[in-house]
Structure 1
Amino acid sequence: MCHYSDHGVAECDPCPPGSFIDFTGATYCKSCPVGHYRQKPGYDDCEPCQKGSAAEVEGSLQCPKCLVGEHQGQEGQATCDKCPAGYFQNKVGAEKCEACPAGTFSQQGSGYCVKCPAGSYTDKEGQGQCYLCPAGSFNDDEGSTGCDLCAAGSAAPKAGAAMCEVCGAGFYSEQGADECLECKPGHYNDQDGSGTCIACSAGSFAPGTGNTECVPCPAGQYSESDAADKCVDCQAGTVAEVEGSTKCAACSAGTFAYGEGNLKCKECSKGSFSGSDGMDHCNKCSAGSFSSEDGSSNCTLCPAGSLNWAGGSLSRNPCSLVPPGNWERVSKVSLPVGQSECSPCPAGHAQSLPAQDSCYICQPGQYSPTEGSTRCSQCPAGSFSNQAGKSFCTVCQGGWYQPYPKQKECKICQAGTAQGKEGATECNVCEPGSFSNKDGALDCIPCAEGSSQGNEGQTSCNVCKGGQYAGGEGNLKCGECAAGSFSQSGAGNCTLCSAGSYSTSTSSRSKCSLCEPGRFASGEGNTECLSCEAWVLC
């Protein structure tokens, strides 16, 4: 049987290599189609290329093996396929590609895998790229499968860190921090790499932020609790004679300290006295009494049968004999002539001594609620009186406070703090995730959606940057949008990139980038664009 014959030829010839006939009585041989071959002359059909090889032209005598970085898992194919990104093949004639192990990556058509550089990682096999360690974490080895959190006392401000930066003195950080924070007022640290700040002990203070030491309170001032950011002047009637005082000492009877911030008490001069501890002034001896020494705690009554009209007498024996006919009236209490009974001191006044011709008025910061008081009481902490002669103290209203007794006014809560109750002795520091932006606030305001605040005692919240988000209220920190999404400044959530656009873990993610010509991305949430096939326009 002839396989083919030209016109006029007496016998049939076999088809040459790379060709075949498809029916009996053919006058010519056809070239083997792509993906097929024939090495020898003959009468048979062309054979399909084996797996791991391909023939891209017609009339092939053999099928070349797939090159390194290529594979072909089917018979009779015209071309070999490149290994996809994340896979490799280091041999020729391969039927399939191998996945790159975790900690490595490869590009399309690779014959080998590349270790992820320090500061990046892949945590599973078959990856076409390495991912940067998030801010606050690091790795210092090539080929890493994960990242370690920065230790307390260090931070990594940017993604892709191979090592964490050590916080300097006056700063601190917790584990996994992306920034070192300044020590708050009233706190300090004096060493690099600290995970916390130390509260100043009572008797010292640290103003402002970022302190590396605490300062002793100067004489005349004190701080009674830890973590003070300032020292307080000693109140009238009290003193602090040395630096670093945790409290002020009350002046003893017979002495006084006028005004605030005193270092020493002064003795009452002759003719005056202070009858109790903690006095801010001395009282003049009243009619019928005298004091002849400095530092007197009381005045001496004129003896029976004598009197003193002026008061404030300085001499050792200033009393005069009562004129004839008046001895009975003055023999016991030395009352002025014509006065036969005592009157109670009105509310807002007091008198602690007998045989007096007047009551003393309660000073601002004091009160006496009833008639006949023997002393003026101090207004308790959380209240005040701003006038002399008061019978009651006024409680501090909401947004105000007073930590000390015997005060003339309340202090307003500063921005960053709040107090919603009356009669408060301190203001509440706004917690992280909230703020107050004015003095005298009743409540702290939670940070709005799209903003955050990681520190306490703040006057505002930080708006999340583009590529970040904070859902709901009261956020301590803005989250980072994942690759394949984006957000604008102040966003409460991230939006997936639309078809034809993408974002990566290394970009700002404040917007999605459009695919370049010749590349495409279908669906939403793309992290990369793929190359178009050679015969497709996109």
Structure 2
Amino acid sequence: MKSKLILDYTQLNRHSSYSFLRLTGHGISLAFVFTVCLTTLTFNYSDGFIPILNCSSVLNVSCELCKPGTFANISTVHCGCCRYSSHGVCVNASSCTECPVGEHQSRYGSLSCDICPPGTSTNNQTHQESCAKCSPGHYSNENGSAYCSPCQEGYYSNQTGSANCKACPLGSFCNETGSAQCSPCPEGYYSNHTGSTNCKACPVGSFSNKTGSAQCTSCSPGYYNNETGSTSCEPCEAGYYSFNTSECLPCDAGSYSAAPGSSVCKQCPAGSHQPNTGQSGCEGCPAGSETRVSGSVNCTGCLPGHYKNDSGFDVCQECPIGSHQPESGQESCIGCPEGYESRLNGSANCTACIPGYYKNESGFDLCQECPIGFNASSANSTSCEPCPEGYYQNLSGKPLCNPCDVGTFCNSTGCSHCEDCDQGTEALVAGSNNCTLCKPGSFKESTSAENCKICKHGWFTTKSGSLECTECPVHYFCPTPDRDKQQCSPQALCPPGSAVPGWCPSPLYVKESDYDCKASSELIGIVVGACIVFCLLVAFAAFKRYRKRSQTIKIENAERRQLVSQEESSPPVYTGL
């Protein structure tokens, strides 16, 4: 397009300069220089050019290309600033190039548009002076975004200008796009990973009683729930227990749980039982039965030797000493019959009284010892027998009586000891019930257990029951202790106490008196002769011994003299010392 520009020179400064710029299709500018000195200048120019007047003495007129970032049209006399020029030059005579989507420019005369950074966009608009921050719930993670994208499900952005969305944290979820925040999981639900689009219901046996749970809590032992999405657990009823949190199980037979919320069942204690399952307590055993171990399902009868007289939790008791019970499952014990007893607790049977003991009636009493003077020789005795005559028992509880020792007697039954025989009497055999008089020739001088003693030689007694013996008088002899004394002959020696007559040996001795003999003259001569012969023999033996000794001395002296003479005649010998 071409136009005619008429300049009034009077309106211009004489020294002002104007440029005429024109952009050709090849980027070549044409400059025209005119010399104008007129008050009014008339010339032709095209879009993109401006006149340059440089008046001095001569007005020079030329065209000049607009600088990058500016433009001109026919109505302007100078180049104006473009918001943006894609190539640094005007591409249109009347406007600049708009910034595309994702870019902006707020400065005049810019050579290019600025790219919107992450977190911003131009909302899919061109010709923007600035980038808009992404609103909450949206993001842009690249440079030059035309628009902000909504956060996907499970992600959120809670502030403006987000370059990225954040994953919903544990315990929360987001099931819509473009969310500015995540919602907490409701009670009974959970989310155990980030970026969840929904929450999962707590499984059976667990619960969540608050919002925003990242995990569910298992039911405590003794509690349960059997539905998903539970906000609490229920306690197991009495008689039930739970350890796997999803169901309550009945207590086994022989066990129980007394209170709700039990994690284990307790065994029924000894003395009780429980035959059924799912029970809150145990039952006592009836009379005559018991349980000795915990966890019993049924009761068992009391063992023989035991009893239980009422129902309850007690165990069977041992039958006390003096009683017994041969059968099982009994409520009481039985006393032992006559002659029998039980000396131990818990006896199933009675034992016979041992010899030396007795029991004369049935009941709970023990066998008693037979008293002294009595005995019971057989077992299971119901009474004791007194010791017979000649026997005794000085201890109680003995099976037999002892015979009286020799020299003692007992002449009644039930003796606890025997008596010594009186003086002049004796008991020659054991078990005597009386004493007999000492026989002639014997005596006993005091009451004791000794028997009668025989009179010693030369003494005698001819009556029974003697307390002592009589010595044979002089001129008499007593050959036996039970016969009277006898007269000795005149030639006999019969001193007092002679058992037989004594005689002097003839012819060497002769009677001097009734007590002694004396030597005869023949005996004296024999004795003197024998002494003389003995003395001569001793003297002869001494003489022979003296003579032999003298000869031995002479020989030794001669040998000694010969040895001395040899030593004196020998020359001296050098020994080397």
Instruction: Give the TM-score normalised by the residue count of structure 1.
Output: 0.44
Higher helix share: 2
- Which structure's CA Rg is the greater one? 2
Q: TM-score, normalised by structure 2?
A: 0.42
